[in-house]
């Protein structure tokens, strides 16, 4: 039953009108699948940064980092703010709620399973 509930939640999140699964660039999971993008999110989560500052933390080229920033911005994990000539990237913590909404049913399912296993193990010890 809980397994079906997880599928229903997943479908609810991903099959909203005008939000199709095939549009992978705007998908938070696709954006976070790349280790460089996860590192960028961790950097920007602590403070807002410009593209140059972000790129200085990596050995890859600036255009490569710029492409990662574009994907993170399209997925709405990062937001841009123009300040004079500089563009600052900010972490969008509200977008992480989508990730949490997806994971929560699985967390509940595994907590229930581990609780059941713990009960079984305690009963075996007393036998």
What SS3 state is found at 82? Answer: strand
Domain residues of the chain, as ranges? 2-126
Query: What is the per-residue pLDDT across 70-79, written as a single tens digit (0 to 9) for each?
Result: 999 999 999 9
Q: For all residues of the chain together, what is the average pLDDT?
A: 84
Query: What is the per-residue pLDDT across 91-124, written as a single tens digit (0 to 9) for each?
Result: 999 898 888 888 898 888 899 888 888 888 888 8
CB atoms within 10 A of CB 115: 10
Would you state the CATH architecture of domain 2-126? Answer: Orthogonal Bundle (1.10)
Closest by CA position to 88, among listed 97, 96, 76, 79: 79
What SS3 state is found at 99? Answer: helix
Residue 43 half-sphere exposure, CB side, CA atoms within 13 Å?
21
């Amino acid at each position: 039953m809980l397994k079906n509930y997880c599928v229903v939640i997943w479908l609810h999140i991903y099959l909203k009108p005008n939000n199709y699964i095939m549009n992978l660039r705007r998908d938070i999971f696709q954006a976070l699948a790349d280790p460089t993008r996860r590192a960028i999110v961790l950097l920007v989560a602590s403070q807002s940064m410009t593209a140059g500052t972000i790129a200085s933390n990596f050995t890859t080229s600036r255009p490569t980092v710029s492409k990662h920033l574009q994907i993170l911005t399209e997925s709405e994990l990062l937001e841009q703010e123009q300040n004079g000539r500089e563009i600052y990237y900010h972490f969008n913590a509200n977008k992480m709620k989508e990730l949490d909404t997806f994971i929560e049913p699985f967390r509940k399912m595994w907590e229930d399973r581990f609780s059941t296993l713990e009960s079984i193990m305690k009963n075996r010890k007393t036998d």
